[in-house]
Structure formats: structure tokens, C-alpha cells
Amino acid sequence: QKEVEQDPGPLSVPEGAIVSLNCTYSNSAFQYFMWYRQYSRKGPELLMYTYSSGNKEDGRFTAQVDKSSKYISLFIRDSQPSDSATYLCAMRVDRGSTLGRLYFGRGTQLTVWP
Amino acid sequence: EAQVTQNPRYLITVTGKKLTVTCSQNMNHEYMSWYRQDPGLGLRQIYYSMNVEVTDKGDVPEGYKVSRKEKRNFPLILESPSPNQTSLYFCASSFTVTQGLYGYTFGSGTRLTVV
């Protein structure tokens, strides 16, 4: 079992829809949770991060972490065609021999059509 | 501009011909790492380096070598490339301590095809 599971999609939604992207994980030592966005033929870029449980909002994006369920989500409100990309979740521990290593989900491919 | 620079962007080579993919960062990051990305498999870590002269294997190190002689550079070496190493490769770097805030900075990728 992979440490981080993410449904690869693809996910296709109309412009203006609310998008929900999710990941589950098995390692209870994960403390930092991130979402990366990757456009075609580009490297991933950090979109949002959260530490431990809770919500974080940045414009149209909201990241949620539920450590009790080992489940994280990214919500995109009023989705735009420019949001079309692959979204990868990532997480890491905050101490120990694996400090510095990010564990990635496989990525969810999102298409927002006008 | 703060960035991770990989070269080349595209490379087609033949089986067995040694090659090096270069990676350089200008952010004084301690941590550097190589990933390969394949359809359906996502990003898989090949090697990483916590600092100069400190390297360690990731999940898929077979067939690859790395070195970290300078803080800014972390080349990926394929001594005898094989077709199963055809992939999209990314170099990434970060500050180890504050990585939770800023995550990794990725390069633009190297598309390698081994025929």
C-alpha cells in the first residue's frame, strides 16, 4: 500500500463549478500537508500548505486536513479554465531520519471547460 | 530569479551511452532531490541529498548515480541507460528546516527517451 493515495481522475468540470480533490494517507507521523499544481510540460509548483489539522484558505482555494481520518482535501471555488492542471498532494514528517522527504500522491488531472 | 535549472530539457539517447542531467539551484538550499514521473505512477524519488557530500537512495535508485560536491549542483548520472529509464525527470530543492513552509522548488523537467 502506498503511503499516500490519490485518485488520478481524470476530472472534468464546467467553468464555475466547485472542485473537490482528495488524498488519504497511512502514516500518522505526517505533519505537513501540501498541494502542488502541475501544468502540462512544467514542473510542479507549490499551491498551498497546512501544518497539522485544520483549514486554510487562499482566494478561491481551500485546503483541509483531517488527521483523525488521515484525509486531506483541496477545494477550488468558481473554477476557471486556467485551473486545468494536474494536482498533486504531498506530505511529510517534521522530524526523524526522513526529514526533508516529501511523499507524493499520484496526482489528479483536472480539466475545467468553458 | 530564484530557480532550479535543469539541462537538457529534452534528450534522446541510445541504450548504454552514459549521460548526465545537470541540476543547479541559486537559493542556497541544503536539500536537493531527483524524481522521475511516469504515467499512472506519479512522482518517484530516485536520490536525495541533505547537504554537500551527503546523498542517499530514494525509492527507485537502480541504474542511477548522483553526487553533491557543491551546494548548488546535484547532477544525475545514468551510466548505462536502458529503455525503462525513459521518463520525465525533475530536480527539486528546499531549505531543510523551513521546508514545511515553502515546500520544494522544482525544475522544469527533463524529458529523456532511451532507444
**Which residues in chain B have Cβ-Cβ distances shorter than 8 Å to A8?**
40
A2 pLDDT above the threshold of 80: no
Q: Which residue of B has its CA nearest to A100?
A: B96
Q: How far is B41 from chain A (nearest CA, A)?
A: 6
- The three cell numbers of residue A27 are 502514516
Question: Is the CB of A61 inside 8 Å of chain B's CB atoms?
Answer: no
Residue type, A74: L
Predicted confidence (pLDDT) per residue in B27-81, tens digit: 999 889 999 999 888 899 999 998 899 999 998 999 999 999 999 999 999 999 9
Question: Is the CB of A56 inside 8 Å of chain B's CB atoms?
Answer: no
pLDDT value of residue B40: 84
3-state DSSP assignment of residue B34: strand
Would you put residue B20 in left (φ > 0), alpha (ψ -120 to 50) or beta?
Answer: beta
Q: Rounded to whole angstroms, how far apart are CA atoms B85 and A92?
A: 27
Q: E-strand spans in B3-82?
A: 4-7, 10-13, 19-25, 31-38, 42-51, 54-57, 65-66, 76-78
Predicted confidence (pLDDT) per residue in B83-99, tens digit: 999 999 999 998 776 55
Overall residue count recorded for chain A in this entry: 114
Point out which residues pair with A22 in neighbouring strands: A73
Predicted confidence (pLDDT) per residue in A73-99, tens digit: 999 999 999 999 999 999 988 766 666
B105 pLDDT above the threshold of 70: yes
